Amino acid sequence: MQTWHPLLAAVEGPTGTWTLTDAAGRTYGTIEIRRVSNGTDVRYRASFRGEVIGWSTSLRLACEKVHQAFLRAHGPGGGPLADWGGRR
């Protein structure tokens, strides 16, 4: 069995709500469990900095989505440079 990565550790509280915090203790994401359609299906609503970024079928996947959004927020947007050549 695989182990849970410590960076994706989510703390539950209140019941049915998990929070992800950075190294400084600031909350950057939340995940809430929801029942959908006929009342028996379960989904997890993933939010990053207060904005819903998607829905997941498992807590693990929801944590991964929120953490990936957190990592993307630390770098420049857009794709990599196409030309790594020197000055012309």
pLDDT single digits (tens) 38-78: 878 999 999 999 999 999 999 989 999 999 999 889 877 76
Render the burial of 33-42: b for 16+ CB within 10 Å, e for the rest.
eeeeeeeeee
Q: What's this model's pTM, rounded to 2 decimal places? A: 0.75
* Element spanning 42, H or E: strand 41-48
Answer whether residue 81 shows pLDDT above 90.
no
Structure confidence by residue, pLDDT tens digits, 2-47: 665 655 678 898 999 999 988 888 999 999 999 988 878 999 999 9
pLDDT value, residue 2? 66
- Residue 65's pLDDT is 93
Q: Rg (Cα) of the chain, in Å, rounded?
A: 17
Residue with tokens 């209140």: 14
Domain layout of the chain by residue ranges: 11-72
Q: What is the pLDDT of residue 6?
A: 53
